[in-house]
Structure formats: structure tokens, C-alpha cells
Amino acid sequence: MDYLQLEAKEGVAVITIQSPPANALASYILKDLASAFDEIEADRSLKAVVLKGEGKFFSAGADIKEFTSFQSQEDLSNLGREGQLLFQRIENFRAPVIAAIHGAALGGGLELAMSCHMRIVTEDAKLGLPELSLGIIPGFAGTQRLPRYVGSAKAYEMILTGDPITGKEAYTAGLANKAVTFDSLEEEAMKLAKKVAAKSGPSIEAVMRLIPHTITSTYEHGQQEEAKEFGKVFGNEDAKEGVQAFIEKRQPNFKDQ
């Protein structure tokens, strides 16, 4: 991976986008992201992911200059679909992905951040989908994900005007889990990731499978799936250890089994 750094820290995979100055999401960045998630998928000891950008931005958006190199509408549609499929893979990933956002998450950068499961932002970060200002539209599922977080009225406003919101506003709108200072951004993201990674792997993966049912299936079906997963995890060794640790008033020692 030429444009990303992948590290492992205490059960947490840390992906850093390294494509200055804007960490623009060119096609080669998308390929490196796919490779990073391939590596993380293969290592079951990694139970949470932090995704961040190096330099001044999380990601200022797609590589607009690259768009001009495409010869047809079909080529552009294929690029959009490539991004959609990658971001859907992140949304469906077995481990939670936390975006640590500073500077700007605009256009494709915000679409990438919205495919993550949680977002920690700096208070002064800029988050938005400005594509209509260029005469185009969001192409990596921005029109589909933003309304889930902020509601349709705010999504219409943000997409149709192209005006960004601050990290503070993103937190108030429900787009971010926490708004912090720049100095504490990485610390807060890692703290959250490590807290998750300390849990039992099978339990984490069960939750990651279940929560999407709130969007993709009926309430009744979601409950049925939860009951199945509850039965499965309760038969694991980690469940026995967790219950015993609770009785003995100590911290559990999970083995991800």
C-alpha cells in the first residue's frame, strides 16, 4: 500500500490515509483501502479499526482532476460503483470502524466517514457534500447515508446548498459521536476503539451483524436474528468467562472463543 499506513495497536487496526495535500480519494486510494481491509479481515485479533488522515485533512473529497481523465459516462459510473461497493464493505465489516476527522471531510471524504460506524470529529472540522457546486452529485452513496444520520430535511439542505457544517454542528445533528479538540482527537478515537477491542470478539461480530437489520429488514425479523445470535454467543467460552468474572467481581479474560 503506497498511500496508506496500517498499524496494529492493542487489538486495534489504525489506517492512516497518506496522500497530501488533501488526501483526495483517487482510485488508487480506494484500492489501497480495499487492501487494508483485506489484511484486517485476515487477522481476527484486530477487533476495532480507526481510520484517519495525515496532514491537514481527513479527506477533502474525491480526486476531481481524475474525473477529467475518464472517457465516458460508463467509466464514471463504474468509478462511483467501485466506491459504493468499498464503502458498503466497510459498513458491513465484522469489526467497528471509527473515523477520526479533522480539518475537512468533504464530498467523498464525508461519504467514506459515513460508511464508518462511529465518528469522532474536531470541533472546527468541516463536513459537507459540496458536489452540486461543481454541477455534479455525490457518487459514493452520500445521498443515501446522510439522511440516516441527520434526517431528510437537513440532508436536503446540506446537499442542495453544498454548505458544510462544523464538527460541533455534526455532533448536535447526530452525524458524530463526539466533538473534541484537535489535540485530543487521536486519543479519544483510540480510547473508544480500545474499549471495544477489550470485549469478546464473537460478541462484537454478532452486534455488527445485528444493527444493520434496523435498516435492511423488519423489526420482527431483527428480533428473530437477535434471539439466534444471543443463543450462539451464550454457548461460547467467553460467555462463561464473562458470567464467572461478574460473579467473582473481576475483569473478564476473554479469549475470543
Active site members: 111, 131
CB atoms within 10 A of CB 141: 18
Residue length of the chain: 257
Per-residue cell: 115: 460508511
Burial letters 50-79, b for 16+ CB under 10 A, else e? bbbbeeebbbbbbbeeeeeeeeeeeeeeeb
135: left (phi over 0), alpha (psi -120 to 50) or beta: left
- Give the CA count within 13 Å in the CB-facing half-sphere of 90: 27
Torsion sign (Cα): 153, 158, 163, 166 = positive
CB 5 within 8 A of CB 37: no
DSSP code, position 74:
H
Task: Give every strand in the sheet of 104-106, ordered side by side.
Answer: 104-106, 126-128, 165-166
Q: Can you name the residues that pair with 14 across neighbouring β-strands?
A: 7, 50
Task: Give every strand in the sheet of 12-17, ordered side by side.
Answer: 4-9, 12-17, 48-53, 97-101, 118-122, 178-180
